[in-house]
Structure 1
Amino acid sequence: MTAQPIDPAAAGMWYPDPVRQRLADYTIEDVLTLPDEAPRVELRDGVLVVVPSPTYGHQNIGNLLWMWLHQHAPTDLAPATAVGVAIDHRNTFEPDVVLLKRPVSGDRHYFDAQQVILAAEVVSPGTRRRDRLEKPADYADAGIPHYWRIEQNPVHVYAYDLVDGRYELAADSAEELIVEKPFDIRLRVRDITP
């Protein structure tokens, strides 16, 4: 008996077309028509990038932040998780938590970057480079006014404001984050710590 590699197509698994991946030929329209069994993906310069599954702790931090924002954000803002941000037709992101300007359509997965007030990412071992370097630059290029990076073990929140096309650190804390934008916030970090 020999070990043969599993052909994903034969196993019925979805995978990106290798030619289109090499050509960087995917658009947001392609992402919207992916089959239900396809993994969660982001689109980066026309290439599908599989988003790693978050850990239990990662999800808890994101969900607790969503709940805190849901309870404290002004009524003209709506927090969301597991939704996408459309930067342009060849680039999308799946932030852990976003804060959107209302009105928010309940039947949409992707929201224009202009509707996003805050994008928050919980950093995990598999997302360190993207969450610390790549995504902040891309969110800034898209004009998203605020970016939060949340490190784990221990939980530490870094809040950035967009200034002249770049993010500048507004505040950071492992105890209580105090910022005036996107609204007056006094977030006890223990409130988002699982």
Structure 2
Amino acid sequence: MTAEPAGHVMWSPDPLRQRLADHTVEDVLALPDDAPRVELSDGVMIVVPSPTYDHQDIVGLLWHWLRQRTPEGLRASMATGVALSLDTTFEPDVLLVDAEVEGKRHYSKAHKVVLVVEVVSPGTKRRDRLEKPAEYAAAGIRHYWRVEQEPIHVFAYDLVGDRYELVADSDIELVLSAPFEIKLPIGDITP
């Protein structure tokens, strides 16, 4: 017995276009409804692994915490995209964007993004710790947070020049002055 209806073919990226690395943000936006979540890295589509319940609980709690405290002029969002260029898009777990970003959009341009947050999972360690911060920094996104699990520990970075520098980290309370005054009890985002 098969899990797919007869005649249904599961979507996957076109192998030739993957080798050519010529996908663009328009290709991602045109994906069929049954396509998995993908990010685009230098024209190559990368299927994003499904998150765990704990991962999503952290994301939801952090988004809710930020949404309640974000000052006027900013908007908290989760699992929406950032277009770093025409051939590179990421979907950070949580982000703060300029409030003027249109609500019907799926992607924000990098210059409209104030903060990106990645919650690290076993399948995303390398990308969340190394690859994505380098790309976010190159795009000029001013603040990057990395949330490690087991135990929950938040690392906050600010863009200095063309790279991120650690400004605070905690498994008890994250205290920051930017992008606004923040005193985040880590227990508030722990499932």
TM interval, shorter chain, is over 0.9
Give the alignment's TM-score, normalised by structure 2.
0.95
Which runs of 5 or more residues in structure 1 are unaligned? Answer: 1-9
SS state at 1:92 partner:
strand
RMSD: 0.7
CA positional deviation for 1:125:
0.3
Aligned length, in residue pairs: 185
Mapping of residues 43-192 of structure 1, within 5 Å:
43-192=40-189
Distance, in Å, in 1 between the alignment partners of 2:75 and 2:8 is 40
CA positional deviation for 1:11:
3.7
Give the alignment's TM-score, normalised by structure 1.
0.94
Moved over 4 A (4+): none
Distance, in Å, in 1 between the alignment partners of 2:89 and 2:30 is 14
Identity %: 63
| Paired position in structure 1 for 2:37 | 40
Which runs of 5 or more residues in structure 2 are unaligned? Answer: 1-6
SS state at 2:144 partner:
strand
1:83-116 CA-to-partner distances (Å, cap 9, x unmatched) read 0000010000000000011112111000000010
Amino acid paired to 1:24: A
Amino acid paired to 1:102: A
SS state at 1:78 partner:
strand
SS state at 2:129 partner:
helix
Distance, in Å, in 2 between the alignment partners of 1:163 and 1:46 is 27
| Paired position in structure 2 for 1:6 | none
